[in-house]
Amino acid sequence: MDGPPRDPDRSLPTLSVVVPNYNHGRYIEGALRGHLSQTAPPTEILVVDDGSTDDSCAVVERLAAEAPTLRLIRLGRNTGVNAAINRGLTEVRGDFVCFSAADDVVGPDFARHSLELIARHPAAAFCFSDPAEMDSEGGGVHPLPFRLADRPCLLRPSDVEALLTRNFFAFPGHATIYRRKTLSDLGGFIEDLRWYADWFTSCVLAFRHGACYVPEVMAYYRLSRHSYYMSGIRQTAVQRELLYRVLDLLASAPFRDVAPAFRRSALTPEFRLRVLRWLATSPRHRDYLTPRLSARLAVRGVWWVVKPYMPGWVRPALRRLARRMRPLSGASAQVLP
């Protein structure tokens, strides 16, 4: 193929959407229709089916008959979500790429507002917006605003480090568009990091290149105890090994340049008291346990213990107070027209 397909709005860069799917026939039509009805439609939507045994492929094929930008790749066997995502990354050709779970939903302006901002900042590796969660039926929507800035802005690498040092948040994979070439040059997602692959990749890219932020909820993930992430974090032994794997990667040549930023930010894949024990008892990883990280783990660990017993109004009130006390400084914000 000779080049990336063009968006109907020639003023915007092109966007490809990759949707990994495994037995999400119940939800995938809603997810795909959300992308098809964008005010700035993606130039291609690629569903990578990871060996589904339900009717999801039939649903995709029916929609593809109506939508020429939609196509399906069948992997034939279950290879895992990160392998499916990486396969999709090699197939698409847009300037930017979004990875959307087959049970997630995007609002109509997700692509337009993200592309309009990042198009102005060619150094930024990706653009993210505020997340929101919904229940298994698509109702009970709960916005989770970061309040990192009061307007769309560029976060330089130094801004990213400052924000991650002062706040507990993770770049939301469902609400992010990546600069495709930058992500491809990195090698995509490290598959054996499992449910932390997108977290690690986004942190590395943000520390190297910066990121754009839109303080608006435009994408929604489905909350389920049986999701890939929620099922994974309950596996204590696997969580410990993933922590060690992240630290081993940071000590390796490809990521040694961003290791100091991770360390200064006191950043780990999770913030629970057990991480203190895991680091303290591992001779190879003990030196990552700085006083700042120890304090953060202790504070956040206590939070996880008391959180279930707090009245519903307390948590958002505390978040609002904390954000007012720690305003973003130095970000080169630009308001969208």
* Domains delineated in the chain: 15-230 (3.90.550.10), 235-324 (no CATH)
Least confident of 83-97, 119-133, 139-153, 189-203: 139-153
User: Which helix H or strand E contains 216, and what residues bound it?
Assistant: strand 211-217
Q: Given the DSSP bridges, would you call strands 211-217 and 126-130 parallel, antiparallel or unpaired?
A: parallel
* Residues β-bridged to residue 96: 15, 179
Q: How far is CA 263 from CA 21, 210, 230, 241, 249, in A?
A: 35, 17, 26, 19, 13
pLDDT band at 232; cut points 50, 70, 90: low
Give the Cα separation of 42 and 32 in Å (integer): 11
Return phi, psi of residue 243, to 5°.
-60, -50
Query: Is residue 271 scored above 90 in pLDDT?
Result: no
Q: Would you say 128 and 211 are in contact if contact means Cβ atoms under 8 Å apart? A: yes
Query: Is residue 11 scored above 90 in pLDDT?
Result: no
What residues contact residue 32 under an 8 Å CB cut-off, 6+ apart?
A: 19, 45, 47, 60, 63, 67, 70
What residues contact residue 116 under an 8 Å CB cut-off, 6+ apart?
A: 12, 336, 337
Q: Would you say 71 and 94 are in contact if contact means Cβ atoms under 8 Å apart? A: no
Higher pLDDT residue, 199 or 326?
Answer: 199
3-class state of residue 6 by DSSP = coil
- The string of DSSP codes covering 286-337 is GGG--HHHHHHHHHHHHHHHHGGGS-TTHHHHHHHHHHHHS---S-EE----
DSSP 97: E
User: Residue 159 is encoded by which pair of tokens?
Assistant: 């801004």
What residues contact residue 315 under an 8 Å CB cut-off, 6+ apart?
A: 307
Give the Cα separation of 259 and 244 in Å (integer): 14
Sign for the CA dihedral angle at 111, 117, 122, 125 comes to negative
What residues contact residue 177 under an 8 Å CB cut-off, 6+ apart?
A: 15, 96, 97, 98, 111, 114, 115, 118, 126, 127
| Matching residue, tokens 């630009």 | 334
Across the range 174-188, mean pLDDT stands at 98
What's residue 283's pLDDT? 97
pLDDT per position as a tens digit, 92-122: 999 999 999 999 999 999 999 999 999 999 9
pLDDT band at 128; cut points 50, 70, 90: very high
Question: Which among 80, 82, 74, 128 has a CA at the least distance from the CA of 106?
Answer: 128
Question: What count of Cα atoms within 13 Å lies in the side-chain half-sphere of residue 188?
Answer: 18
User: Residue 268 is encoded by which pair of tokens?
Assistant: 């780990």
Give the Cα separation of 99 and 101 in Å (integer): 7
Q: Given the DSSP bridges, would you call strands 132-134 and 211-217 parallel, antiparallel or unpaired?
A: unpaired
Give the Cα separation of 217 and 144 in Å (integer): 8
What's residue 9's pLDDT? 60
Higher pLDDT residue, 2 or 257?
Answer: 257
